[in-house]
Amino acid sequence: MVVAGASAAAVTGCGTVDWYPSGTTPDEHVLRSLLREKERLLVRYEKALADGSGPSDLLDRLSEDHRAHLDALTDALPEGAEPTPPAEEGSPGPVPPEEDPDLAEAPSTAALRAMEAAAAGARPDQAAAVTDRGLAQLIGSIGACEAGHTYLLDEV
C-alpha cells in the first residue's frame, strides 16, 4: 500500500515540474539550431560562388532554396521572438557565420554535397524532436530538398 501511494505521488508530481530549464521551448531550440545551420550553409554557398568552385547556376539555385528555408524557419519562430536572440549575460554568444574562421575557405562541390547529405540525414531526428506537427512537416520537407541537392551536386 505504501508503494502504491509513493508511485501515485511521483506520477502526480511529474505534471508540476518544469523539466526544461530555459525560457526557450524544445521546438524553438530545434528551430534556432536549424536557423544557425542554414546561415552557416548559406555562407559556404556564397564563398563557393565567389570563388567559382562549381557551376554557378546550380550553386545559385541551391543557395536560393536555402534562403527560402531560412525564411520559412524564421516565420515558424514563436510570435515576438527575435530571429537572433541576444547573448546571455556573461556569455560571448555564437560567432556570426561570416566571422567564423572555419568558414573562411570556399568549399568544393564535393564538400557541399557532403554537407547537404549530412543535413538531410539529420532532419528526421530533428522532426521527431518537435511537438508541433506543422514544424515537423517543414523540417521533413527541408530534408527532402537537401536530399535532392545532394543528388544534384553528385551529378556535377
- On the question of pLDDT at 5 being above 90, the answer is no
- On the question of pLDDT at 156 being above 80, the answer is yes
Range in 46-55, 79-88, 138-147 the model is least confident about? 79-88
Q: Could you report the per-residue pLDDT of 13-65, keeping only the tens digit for each?
A: 454 445 555 677 889 999 999 999 999 999 999 999 999 988 999 999 999 99
Q: Domain residues of the chain, as ranges?
A: 23-78+97-154
Confidence of residue 91 (pLDDT cuts 50, 70, 90): very low
Structure confidence at residue 66 (pLDDT): 97
- Per-chain mean pLDDT for the chain: 83
Of the candidates 107, 117, 106, 110, the residue with the CA atom closest to the CA atom of residue 149: 117
Nine-digit cell string for 135: 514544424
Structure confidence at residue 79 (pLDDT): 84
- On the question of pLDDT at 135 being above 80, the answer is yes
Please say whether the beta carbons of 36 and 69 come within 8 A. no
**112 exposed, middle or buried (CB, 10 Å; 0-12, 13-18, 19+)?**
buried
- Cα dihedral angle (148, 38, 107, 119), rounded to 10 degrees? -50
Options 3.90.226.10, 3.30.70.141, 1.10.357.10, 1.20.1260.10; which CATH number does 23-78+97-154 get?
A: 1.20.1260.10
| pLDDT, greater one: 116 or 105 | 116
Confidence of residue 113 (pLDDT cuts 50, 70, 90): very high
